[in-house]
Structure 1
Amino acid sequence: MAIYTLADYVQDMRTITSTTQDPNEIIARVGPLAERAALCRDWLQPHHYTCDAEQGFGVHLLHEEPDHTLAVFAIAWLPGRGAPPHNHGTWAVVSGVDGLETNIFWKRLDDGTRPGYAEICQNGVKPFGPGEVVAFLPHEIHSVENHTAAVTVSLHTYGKHLNYTGRSQFDPEAKVEKAFLVKQQ
């Protein structure tokens, strides 16, 4: 397989997003490229395995345009940890790099009109590993878990940097929706 650099990946995403703003089309076209970038791994460095113990994962920015669009991250997940149910507020494409992660999909049951309230239920599970891809539209909800004994790493690509999308995290038991910001390493 020919080397597919992070710069190649970013340029291909720029080309795609300059020709369409349809999130369905974007994730369909970016998915195979994310798989290729994840499998080439020329961008992966030892520090990308570093995690924030309080957060349970490490967020490593690889690329972001000046207007915060086309954000690419290496995200590392501590063993036995993960992220709560959340949306992204933008299109998202995630590809496994090292280790096995589990995505849990959630369905929103309420109409979203009550501020701070959300009723969600589990709607599917997908374990995925190196080169496998999962994609999300802006308001789709998922959570992530690392059930392995090692730190896992995945390549995350978003239409916009997560801390600029107004995205939410959800507590299914308390039926609460609140802002979800991440700490970068």
Structure 2
Amino acid sequence: MVNYNTFLHGYNLEVKADGKCSPMGSPPATLGQFPLRHPYRFYRFLCDLDDLVESVSDDLERIRIAAVLTRHFLTQATWITETCPVPDQDQRVAGKSLYGEPGYPFIIQVVAWLPQRSPVHNHANWSIVGYLGDEMAGCEHNSFWCRQDDGLKKGHAIIKKASQQILKPGDIIGFTPDAIHSIVSIPCEKGIDSKPTYTFNIFGETDFSQRYEFDPLNNTLKKF
């Protein structure tokens, strides 16, 4: 189901509050605290992420290091194939938790999407999304938005589309907590026998008081 050789190629991208999707910047020197081991077991990956959160407080630096670790992990984690859920036609999305422990500052999950669209939303956490699959797996068309107002008026938000990007298997994208995006999951270009869109997601600790769904037509927002 999932071809891990795609992670030997792919792009590392990042999105911040300005909504500009750009090539990910170079990781800070603290990346040297995390040797890229072979083999790179899941427990090592979890320990590295835990140490990363403990030692690096800047969210942008976190995602730049986490992206390097995630790509290194996914090039080796052949067992991920067996964890990919199968969405049904009614729900159109299925998720499976790979790691989540009370008191730990992140969760990891895999998600499978049939073609559909998401609302405009933020994550209110630092996060990494890796796109799994082979040439028959689906992709995601992401639109990235920038907030234009000062956030002082309750329930009111003016957002403007700033960039867009089609994300394919092998790509990894990092979001700062204030990044805003919307998603349309789409079949692969080959079409007929397209598989779902598969993602490997890492979400840092969420500030639910700042997690929103945005309505760009009516300039409103609500808790998400």
Q: TM-score, normalised by structure 1?
A: 0.83
Distance 1:51 1:178, change over 3 A: farther
Structure 2 partner of 1:150: 195
Which of 53, 58, 78 pairs up with 1:22? 58
Structure 1 partner of 2:99: 63
Which of 29, 49, 65 pairs up with 2:86? 49
Structure 2 partner of 1:174: 218
Structure 1 partner of 2:146: 107
Checking the alignment, whether the CA contact within 8 Å between 1:49 and 1:152 is kept in structure 2 is no
What are the superposed Cα offsets for residues 61-112 of structure 1, whole Å, 9 maximum, x if unpaired? 2112312521111122112x13211111111111111232222111111111
Structure 2 partner of 1:90: 125
Percentage identity across paired residues of the two chains:
26
Structure 2 partner of 1:10: 46
Q: Secondary structure at the residue paired with 2:199?
A: strand
Amino acid at match of 1:176: T
Q: CA deviation at 1:29?
A: 0.3
**Counterparts of 1:69-84 in structure 2 under 5 Å?**
69-79=105-115, 81-84=116-119
Q: Secondary structure at the residue paired with 2:65?
A: helix
Amino acid at match of 2:98: L
Q: Secondary structure at the residue paired with 2:69?
A: helix
Distance 1:179 1:9, change over 3 A: same
> C-alpha root-mean-square deviation of aligned residues, in Å?
2.2
Aligned equivalents of 1:122 and 1:82: distance in 2? 16
Q: Secondary structure at the residue paired with 1:134?
A: strand
- Computing the radius of gyration from Cα coordinates, the structure with the larger value is 2
Q: TM-score, normalised by structure 2?
A: 0.70
Structure 1 partner of 2:165: 126
Amino acid at match of 1:131: G
Aligned equivalents of 1:18 and 1:110: distance in 2? 33
Q: CA deviation at 1:177?
A: 0.8
Q: CA deviation at 1:33?
A: 1.7
Which of 200, 203, 208 pairs up with 1:165? 208
Aligned equivalents of 1:178 and 1:52: distance in 2? 28
Which segments of 5 or more consecutive residues in structure 1 lack a partner in the other structure? 181-185
Task: Give the count of matched residue pairs.
Answer: 176
Aligned equivalents of 1:58 and 1:146: distance in 2? 13
Distance 1:65 1:22, change over 3 A: farther
What are the superposed Cα offsets for residues 8-40 of structure 1, whole Å, 9 maximum, x if unpaired? 321110121121121111101001122233343
Q: Which moved more, 1:27-36 or 1:38-47?
A: 38-47
Distance 1:37 1:15, change over 3 A: same
Aligned equivalents of 1:8 and 1:34: distance in 2? 11
